[in-house]
Structure 1
Amino acid sequence: MTENIIVIDEGTTSTRTMLFAADGTPLGSAQREFRQHYPGPGLVEHDAAEIWKATLACTRAMIDKAGGAARIAAIGITNQRETAVFWDRKTGEPLAPAIVWQDRRTAADCMALKEGGHEAAVQAKSGLLLDPYFSGTKIGWALKNWPQLCEAGDRLAVGTIESYLVYRLTGGVHVSDATNASRTLLMAIDGAGGWDAELCDLFGVPMALLPEIAGCTTSVGTTDPALFGGAIPICGMAGDQQAATIGQACLAPGQTKATFGTGAFILSASGTRRPYSANRLLSTVLVQEGDVRSYALEGSVFVAGSLIQWLRDGLGLLASAGESEGLARSLDDNGGVYLVPALSGLGAPHWQPGALAALSGLSFASSKAHVARAALEAQAYQAHDLKTAFAADGVDWADLRIDGGMAANNWMAQDLADMLDLTVERPDFIESTALGAAMLAATGAGLYPDLLSAAQAMRGQTTRFTPALEADIRKARLAGWQSALAKLLE
Structure 2
Amino acid sequence: MAEKYVLSIDQSTQGTKALLFDGTGNLVCRADRNHRQIVSDEGWVSHDLEEIYLNTIMAVRDVIEKAGINKNDVQGLGISNQRETAAVWDRNGKPAADAVVWQCARSAGICYAIEKLGKAGIVREKTGIRLSPYFPASKFAWLLQNVSKAGELNRQGELMFGTIDTWLLYKLTGGKAYKTDYSNASRTQLFHLQTLQWDPEVCDLFGIRTDQLAEVCDSNSVFGETDFEGYLPSPIPICGVLGDSHGALFGQGCIRQGMMKATYGTGSSVMLNIGEKPVFSSRGAVTSLAWGIDGTVNYVLEGNINYTGAVISWLQRDLQLIGSARETAELAERANPEDATYIVPAFTGLGAPYWYSDAKALITGMSRLTGKKEIVKAALECIAYQIANIVDVMKEEAGIEIEELRADGGAAGNGYLMQFQSDITEMPVLTPDAEELSGIGAAYMAGLKLELYDKTIFEKLNRKQFLPVMDHAIVRQKKKGWHEAVELSVHKSEV
TM-score, length-normalised on structure 1?
0.96
Unaligned runs of 5+ in 1: none
Given candidates 293, 302, 307, the residue that maps to 1:303 is 307
1:214 aligns with 2:236: no
- Is contact 2:261–2:271 with CA below 8 Å preserved after alignment? yes
Equivalent residue, structure 1, for 2:421: 416
- Matched to 1:82, the amino acid is E
1:383 aligns with 2:387: yes
Alignment: residue pair count: 484
> For the residues of structure 1 that align with 2:13 and 2:255, how far apart are their CA atoms?
25
> For the residues of structure 2 that align with 1:311 and 1:211, how far apart are their CA atoms?
40
Shift of 1:60: 1.2
**What secondary structure sits across from 1:154 in the alignment?**
coil
Deviating beyond 6 angstroms after TM superposition, the runs of 4 or more aligned structure 1 residues are: none
Shift of 1:116: 2.4
- Matched to 1:317, the amino acid is L
Q: How does 1:97-246 map to 2 (within 5 A)?
A: 97-152=98-153, 153-172=156-175, 173-191=177-195, 193-224=196-227, 226-246=230-250
1:79 aligns with 2:84: no
> For the residues of structure 2 that align with 1:18 and 1:387, how far apart are their CA atoms?
31
Equivalent residue, structure 2, for 1:433: 438
Shift of 1:2: 5.8
Distance 1:42 1:247, change over 3 A: same
Cα-to-partner distance string for 1:75-117 (whole Å, 9 max, x where unaligned): 0000000111112212x22121100001101112212222322
Shift of 1:455: 4.5
Shift of 1:339: 0.3
- When structure 1 is superposed on structure 2, of 385-394 and 461-470 the one drifting more is 385-394
Equivalent residue, structure 1, for 2:41: 40
Shift of 1:205: 1.3
- Matched to 2:142, the amino acid is W
- When structure 1 is superposed on structure 2, of 392-401 and 50-59 the one drifting more is 392-401
Shift of 1:310: 1.0
> For the residues of structure 1 that align with 2:475 and 2:163, how far apart are their CA atoms?
41
Distance 1:175 1:69, change over 3 A: farther
**What secondary structure sits across from 1:58 in the alignment?**
helix
- Is contact 1:255–1:397 with CA below 8 Å preserved after alignment? yes
Cα-to-partner distance string for 1:288-325 (whole Å, 9 max, x where unaligned): 01221111111111110011011101111111011111
- Identity across aligned pairs (percent)? 35
Given candidates 447, 450, 454, the residue that maps to 1:445 is 450
Cα-to-partner distance string for 1:365-416 (whole Å, 9 max, x where unaligned): 1111111100101122112211221122124532100000111101100010
Cα-to-partner distance string for 1:125-174 (whole Å, 9 max, x where unaligned): 11111000100110011111111113333332121101111111110121
Shift of 1:487: 1.2
> For the residues of structure 2 that align with 1:480 and 1:334, how far apart are their CA atoms?
13
Equivalent residue, structure 2, for 1:54: 55
- When structure 1 is superposed on structure 2, of 432-441 and 392-401 the one drifting more is 392-401
1:337 aligns with 2:338: no
Given candidates 76, 88, 91, the residue that maps to 1:89 is 91
Shift of 1:279: 1.4
> For the residues of structure 1 that align with 2:413 and 2:116, how far apart are their CA atoms?
42
Shift of 1:119: 2.0
- Matched to 2:7, the amino acid is I
Equivalent residue, structure 2, for 1:351: 355
Equivalent residue, structure 2, for 1:363: 367
> For the residues of structure 2 that align with 1:356 and 1:22, how far apart are their CA atoms?
49
- Is contact 1:390–1:396 with CA below 8 Å preserved after alignment? no
> For the residues of structure 2 that align with 1:22 and 1:248, how far apart are their CA atoms?
19
> For the residues of structure 2 that align with 1:285 and 1:40, how far apart are their CA atoms?
35
Cα-to-partner distance string for 1:343-371 (whole Å, 9 max, x where unaligned): 12101110001111110122331111111
Equivalent residue, structure 2, for 1:18: 19
- Is contact 2:289–2:300 with CA below 8 Å preserved after alignment? yes
- Is contact 1:69–1:232 with CA below 8 Å preserved after alignment? no
> For the residues of structure 2 that align with 1:234 and 1:105, how far apart are their CA atoms?
33
Equivalent residue, structure 1, for 2:467: 466
- When structure 1 is superposed on structure 2, of 391-400 and 259-268 the one drifting more is 391-400
> For the residues of structure 1 that align with 2:401 and 2:374, how far apart are their CA atoms?
31
- Matched to 1:265, the amino acid is S
**What secondary structure sits across from 2:78 in the alignment?**
strand
Unaligned runs of 5+ in 2: none
TM-score, length-normalised on structure 2?
0.95
Distance 1:69 1:275, change over 3 A: farther
> For the residues of structure 2 that align with 1:2 and 1:176, how far apart are their CA atoms?
30
- Matched to 2:79, the amino acid is I
Shift of 1:480: 1.5
Distance 1:334 1:33, change over 3 A: farther
Equivalent residue, structure 2, for 1:9: 10
Cα-to-partner distance string for 1:201-230 (whole Å, 9 max, x where unaligned): 011113333211111000011104614332
Equivalent residue, structure 1, for 2:402: 397
Equivalent residue, structure 2, for 1:254: 258
- Matched to 1:169, the amino acid is L
> For the residues of structure 2 that align with 1:111 and 1:130, how far apart are their CA atoms?
9
- When structure 1 is superposed on structure 2, of 25-34 and 330-339 the one drifting more is 330-339
Equivalent residue, structure 1, for 2:71: 69
Shift of 1:454: 5.6
- Is contact 1:344–1:353 with CA below 8 Å preserved after alignment? yes
**What secondary structure sits across from 1:285 in the alignment?**
strand
**What secondary structure sits across from 1:485 in the alignment?**
helix
> For the residues of structure 2 that align with 1:335 and 1:196, how far apart are their CA atoms?
50
